[in-house]
Amino acid sequence: MLLLLTTSFLVAQDSTSTRLKIGLNASSDYCSYLLYVNNEQQDFGDMFFTEEPSLGWSVGAMASLGLSKNFTVTGGLRYTDHSMANGPHTLYDSNRNKLGTYTFTYHTRYIDVPMGLQFNTNQDKRMFFIANATIAPGVALGEWNEVDFEGEDTLGIRSSTSNATPDKFNFFSAKAELYTGLGVNVGRYQIQVLPQFRYALFKATSESYINRRYWSTGLEFRVLYTI
């Protein structure tokens, strides 16, 4: 009820600024994670601690509804690839001769439904500042493992295994997300460039002995069309 009254009040303040926009969004992300060990008595060696940050990405479709010159609600559907790297590791033959190196890349993929509340300095201006807080519930599709080989006899050879460990991942996910940046109006189009930070509210894996929470930061681009 309070949300309904607040929305009605904002719309009543400036109904001419109430606009529905639809569009596409894409981001390039620097992906990492926070790892907590729940069982300090268990020896993990370097099993979980050799993973390095990697580059991920996301693409999606979205809509935004202007409540006033200053407030907008956003929502959409997004496909996210969160990547982590492990390596390089040295590859030897049976005589301990070095053949080359190999690196594993783990792609954890999600379908997200981001929903946010956005503050704009004045979206009727040609250029304006944006601050957006978003919650993005979703589902995990699983993990895809990719192996890259480099060496005298294996240069350029690449093999990948799909959906390697779907049973180890929590099916449901949710991310808290913050965006700040600039919006530009060009005719009926609106272009937004938004540095962003995303943090997983649930641990990624179902193991009881570790708690791995993904986070990422990057740059998102949005192109919206005013209906």
d(Cα 27, Cα 217) in Å, to the nearest integer? Answer: 10
227 burial class (0-12, 13-18, 19+ CB within 10 angstroms)? exposed
The Cβ of residue 212 has, within 10 Å, a number of other Cβ atoms equal to 19
Which pair of structure tokens corresponds to residue 189? 């189009």
pLDDT at 23: 96
pLDDT class of 21 with cuts at 50, 70, 90 = very high
Q: What is the pLDDT of residues 150-167, one digit of tens each?
A: 665 544 454 544 454 545
Report the candidate in 179, 172, 182 with the shortest Cα–Cα distance to residue 195.
179
Q: What is the pLDDT of residues 84-142, one digit of tens each?
A: 877 677 777 677 777 777 777 778 889 999 999 999 998 888 899 999 999 999 998 87
Helix (H) or strand (E) holding 5: helix 2-13
Which pair of structure tokens corresponds to residue 84? 């982590």
**SS3 state of residue 168:** helix
Average pLDDT of the chain is 79
Report the candidate in 143, 145, 135, 144 with the shortest Cα–Cα distance to residue 175.
135
pLDDT at 150: 67
